[in-house]
Copies of this chain bind each other. A is one copy, B any other.
Amino acid sequence: MKEKLRAGMIGGGKGAFIGAVHRIALNMDGLIELCCGALSQNPDKAKESGRELFLPEDRIYGSYQEMFKKESELPEDERMQFVIIVTPNFAHFEPAMMALEYGFNVMIDKPMTLTLEEAKLLKSKIDETGLLLGLTHTYSGYPLVKEAKKMVADGKLGNIRKIYVEYPQGWLSQLSEGDGNKQAAWRTDPTKSGKAGCMGDIGTHAAHLAEYISGLKITKMCADLNIVVPGRMLDDDGSVLLKFDNGASGVLIASQIAAGEENDLNIRIYGEKGGLKWSQQEPNTLIVKWLDAPVQIYRTGNGYLSEIAQFNTRTPGGHPEGYLEAFANLYKNFVLTLSAKLNNEPVDPLLDFPTVEDGVRGMAFIDNVVASSQSDQKWWDFVV
């Protein structure tokens, strides 16, 4: 890269959670400059938020439509090169589609859209334009997740037989959306969040992680989604039996009413020869168990790890890296890919981040898991 890549942000004004996370992630490696933003639909808040981020006054926009128009009129070496969309789900599709129409690349929060149909339209647009879309399934950005994926791909565990993936949280154990909690309010509102609550918000992460590490695809599911907290409009809990395309079976658990849990995404994958376990809350440890040998503990930052794990790590072993570094890995991989494309250079095969295909698959997961839960049929075929 010869210069920092220039990004604009849609959403993420004062008080937003995920917008602030995106900014830390894009700042971390010094490869990206946030040069403009349409940070809020409220013009005063947009202004104030932009100033807090030290944006130039004339690039703090009142709407994304204005941002796309004005930025596209700037000289090529000044205008933003990609847009970051961190609004709630219902406000993903339109700005993303418009960005692509203006020729801007896109980094977008998950789930990618409100509906599967929107997701497919985005994918068509990407196919048509050749632009880049990155999707922030943060958890596949962890170095030891990449190590686990490589270990499975290399056949270390033998043929995969069983996958347990869990994502318990406790923060919606009460009717927080009734108490002015903004994060809770839109996530539990079907008009803003989509067909699914818990399954859309975190179930998609779990499904992505399972498919990412195992290299397998879900083919059938049997879902039990629940609204546990009275008065809630969307599922806040669910369990799903799974079948994968190689014949393996599995279980996916996601809950936001597991009182006392923080953000305990974890996965166990068992093959003929051994099993592995990774847990997001202690992400620098990958446990590998064998049929008749001592358990092994792989740790982030060590020289015995694969090249891709090391590429996604910044410090030596024992200097814990966490959620923000995993998130920053998505940005680093995305902008290095984008930079190569912009400079007509070959893309390093190490560069790896979730794309529009993952976004479509995530939206299909939501559609299928809701349909399965509503069905009396035991096994539901996963269709995209």
Contact = CB atoms under 8 A, between A and B. Distances in A.
Given A29-B24, A294-B304, A315-B324, A257 B270 contact: yes
A289 B261 contact: yes
A263 B316 contact: yes
A28 interface: yes
Given A224-B222, A239-B249, A294-B297, A259 B282 contact: no
Interface string A36-72: 0000000000000000011000000000000000000
Contact of A320 (B226, B250, B320): B320
A30 interface: yes
Q: How many monomers of this protein are in the complex?
A: 4
Interface in A277-305: 280-284, 288-299, 301-304
Contacts of A264: 318
Nearest to A164: B253
B259 A299 contact: no
Contacts of A288: 260, 294
A260 B161 contact: no
A296 B294 contact: yes
Contacts of A318: 169, 261-264, 280-281
A341 interface: no
A91 interface: no
Nearest to A305: B294
- The interface residues of chain A, by DSSP majority, are classed as loop
With most chain B CB atoms within 10 A of its CB, the pick from A250, A251, A314 is: A251
Contacts of A224: 222, 241, 249
B295 A263 contact: no
B259 A289 contact: yes
A170 interface: yes
Q: Which 4 A-B pairs have the closest CB atoms?
A: A260-B289, A262-B318, A263-B318, A320-B322
Interface of A: 3-4, 17, 20-21, 23-24, 27-30, 34, 53-54, 157-158, 161-162, 164, 166, 168-171, 173-174, 222, 224, 226, 228, 237, 239, 241, 249-251, 253, 255, 257-264, 268, 270-275, 280-284, 288-299, 301-304, 314-325, 375-378
28 contacts: A3-B54, A27-B30, A158-B259, A162-B255, A162-B258, A168-B270, A170-B270, A224-B249, A251-B253, A258-B270, A259-B272, A259-B273, A260-B274, A260-B275, A260-B291, A262-B302, A264-B318, A281-B284, A282-B282, A292-B303, A294-B298, A294-B304, A295-B296, A296-B297, A321-B324, A322-B322, A377-B378, A378-B378
